[in-house]
Structures are given as C-alpha cells and as structure tokens.
Chains A and B, each alone.
Chain A
Amino acid sequence: KAGVTQTPRYLIKTRGQQVTLSCSPISGHRSVSWYQQTPGQGLQFLFEYFSETQRNKGNFPGRFSGRQFSNSRSEMNVSTLELGDSALYLCASSLTGQDTGELFFGEGSRLTVL
C-alpha cells in the first residue's frame, strides 16, 4: 500500500508570491491534516479535512488555506508569502480522523521564502 505522498518536496519562492502544496493520502483514508514545522515553533497544526470539509483549524492567518477533493487528495495554499513562512509542511492522513488513532505522515514539502 502506497504511503502519503507530498509534492513538491522542495521549493523556493520569494516574498509576496503564493504557493500550493499537494498531498495524496493513503488509499481509503478520509482525513488529511496539515502541520507546519519550524525550528522555533515546532509542529503547529494548520487544519484537518475530512470528506471534503474542514473539520478543524489552527491559529494561522487567512493567508493559509486548504481544500480536499472527493478522492481525499488535499492541497494547501499560502498566499502573499512572508519570510517566516519558510518551513517544512507536513501532511498526515488517517482513516477517520485525528481523534481515533495514529497519523501517517508524508515526507513533507520544504518551503524556502527568500
């Protein structure tokens, strides 16, 4: 069974640009969560999607958005990039949601904002 796939793995953007990251969950998993990881703040929860609906959201500005498609694939978008958005963005999938068991993580998308 294929794991969680995130694309792209690495990308470099400049301030003010926008970026879209993609996540394909494990087949059959309906929940996709996104986390931002930085050296200073650690792992911060961005949002969780379940059956195309955003079920939970972290404390991030509106520049951070996401969506989930009918095949459970998810994308997150960051608009008007700032230097502080440089981070490893991790996607995780699970069968039914965060409150029922383990999360399966992808390898992450490392974003550098110049």
Chain B
Amino acid sequence: KQEVTQIPAALSVPEGENLVLNCSFTDSAIYNLQWFRQDPGKGLTSLLLIQSSQREQTSGRLNASLDKSSGRSTLYIAASQPGDSATYLCAVSGNQFYFGTGTSLTVIP
C-alpha cells in the first residue's frame, strides 16, 4: 500500500522568507503528484500537478519538483506572505489517490 509522508507537520516562518515543504512516498509507480492547499474549515484547492514524466511545475511563487525514483517531491514557496498560511497536502495518483497528512504553514507578518 502506498504511504505518503509530509515533514514537517507544522512550520512557522516570518513574512518574506523562502520555504520548502517536503513530501515522500513509498511506491514510485505513480501517474502524477498533486499539491493542494486547505484553509481552515474549507475544502482542498489544487495548486500544482506534476505528471510522472515531469521533473517540476511552476505557478507564480510556487515551484514543485518531483523525483519519482527516490519517492520525493518538494513544494518551494518564494517570498512567503501571511495569505500563504494554510495546510498544504500532497497526493500521489496510482490506482487511487493517496494523501499525506499535510504541513500546517503559518507565515508571521
């Protein structure tokens, strides 16, 4: 069974700092990996999707990388803002979606 781990579970940074969130998975046979954002009491919003054949995807201040062979993905957030405060989840798509438990990010003004 696929297991997805996200470290750290919580992260607090001052505004303006660049940061990296980590996601690791145990089975490299995936179709793609997706990063989501979840605000308190809300559903999930898709941020970036990386196909298994790709190495990275970028959207604005976000950059996600994928190393399928080592079972790792990172989400890089540049110049963090208080509005980035949320929980970030990664999910890998194989025969079904498997989600990590998320990293709770707080950006301090």
Binding partners A and B: no
